[in-house]
């Protein structure tokens, strides 16, 4: 059973396109994180959110706590956005405080 | 500010060998953790620590040991390496373990067990 599900698994877009990556989760959470992993492997934190919407440059993250769903949007996509995007949740369940990770969405933006 | 530093970046071991993956952070973070990343699977928690002297098991702790003698360092020990432990290992830290703080990741260690 996967506590965090992402879709799509793979995504190819033309430069300039609007991109949406979806994340659904099944556990109670204290926060949801979006991470970016570039070829070469380093992981950086893009957003952390527990409600509403956050924006950073061309990236927008939203969360609907009632529906247990989050989306990551990229406006005016660029080849440098090519990376794996990972959704992670911090669960506040009875088993304690733990992070669960999705398997990632591999994004390729073609010039 | 170095952030989270992992060493080595690459390592090849033979089955049965032991080794220690090093992780250090210079941000005075309380929470540190080790994950493994395998193809087709999300990052999985191996062990974590909420402060010096305190460690606990994550989802996949078998075959690994950790200690946290200082706030800065959180080494991961493979006791007797097995091919199933071939993976990419990430160390991460955050201000606390409540999940409401961003996690900072090291660059990863690619480990192959022959």
How large is the C-alpha radius of gyration of chain B?
Answer: 13
- Mean pLDDT over all residues of chain B? 93
3-state SS of A37-99 is ECCCCCEEEEEEECCEEEEECCEEEEEECCCCEEEEEECCCCHHHCEEEEEEEEEEECCEEEE
Q: Is the pLDDT of residue A96 over 70?
A: no
* pLDDT tens-digit readout, B52-93: 999 999 889 999 999 999 999 999 999 999 999 999 999 999
Closest residue of chain B to A6, computed from CA coordinates: B42
- A-B interface: how many C-beta pairs under 8 angstroms? 66
Sort B83 into a burial class: Cβ within 10 Å, 0-12 / 13-18 / 19+.
exposed
Q: What is the mean pLDDT of residues A31-58?
A: 92
- Looking at residue B37, what is its pLDDT? 94
Alpha-carbon distance B76 to B35, whole Å? 10
- Looking at residue A41, what is its pLDDT? 75
Residue A26: both structure tokens together: 């099944």
Interface residue A31 vs chain B (CB under 8 A):
yes
- Looking at residue B74, what is its pLDDT? 98
Interface residue A42 vs chain B (CB under 8 A):
yes
Q: Chain B partners of A97 at a C-beta cutoff of 8 Å?
A: 97-99
In A67-86, the residues whose Cβ lies within 8 Å of chain B are 86
Cis omega before residue A8 (within 30°)?
yes
Q: What is the mean pLDDT of residues A45-62?
A: 95
- Looking at residue B1, what is its pLDDT? 61
Q: What band does B98 get if pLDDT is binned at 50, 70 and 90?
A: confident
Nearest to A41 among B92, B100, B107 (CB): B107
Q: Is the pLDDT of residue B111 over 70?
A: yes
Short-list B4, B22, B30, CA closest to B94: B30
Q: Is the pLDDT of residue A97 over 70?
A: no
Interface residue A100 vs chain B (CB under 8 A):
yes
Q: What band does A1 get if pLDDT is binned at 50, 70 and 90?
A: low
In a 13 Å sphere around the CA of A28, the CA atoms on its Cβ side amount to 6
CB contact under 8 A, B102 and A103: no
Alpha-carbon distance A20 to B55, whole Å? 38
Sort B78 into a burial class: Cβ within 10 Å, 0-12 / 13-18 / 19+.
buried
For residue A99, what are the CA distances in angstroms to A3, A25, A40, A62, B99?
Answer: 10, 12, 23, 19, 8
Q: Is the pLDDT of residue A95 over 80?
A: no
CB contact under 8 A, A101 and B107: no
Q: What is the mean pLDDT of residues A51-68?
A: 96
Q: What band does B40 get if pLDDT is binned at 50, 70 and 90?
A: confident
């Amino acid at each position: 059973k996967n506590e965090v599900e992402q879709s799509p698994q793979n995504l190819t877009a033309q430069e300039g396109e609007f991109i949406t990556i979806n994340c659904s989760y099944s556990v109670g959470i204290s926060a949801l994180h979006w991470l970016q992993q570039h070829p070469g492997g380093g992981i950086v934190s893009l957003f952390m959110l527990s409600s509403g919407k956050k924006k950073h440059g061309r990236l927008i993250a939203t969360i609907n706590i009632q529906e247990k769903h989050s989306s990551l949007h990229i406006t005016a996509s660029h080849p440098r956005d090519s990376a794996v995007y990972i959704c992670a949740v911090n669960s506040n369940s009875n088993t304690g405080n733990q992070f669960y990770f999705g398997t990632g969405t591999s994004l390729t933006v073609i010039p | 500010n170095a952030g989270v530093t992992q060493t080595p970046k690459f390592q090849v071991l033979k089955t049965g060998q032991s080794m220690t993956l090093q992780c250090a952070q210079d941000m005075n973070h309380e929470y540190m953790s080790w994950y493994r990343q395998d193809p087709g699977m999300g990052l999985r928690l191996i062990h974590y620590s909420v402060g010096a002297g305190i460690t606990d098991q994550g989802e996949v702790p078998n075959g690994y040991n950790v200690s946290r003698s200082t706030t800065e360092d959180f080494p991961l020990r493979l006791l007797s390496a097995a091919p199933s432990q071939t993976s990419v290992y990430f160390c991460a830290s955050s201000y606390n373990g409540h999940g409401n703080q961003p996690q900072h990741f090291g660059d990863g260690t690619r480990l192959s067990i022959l």
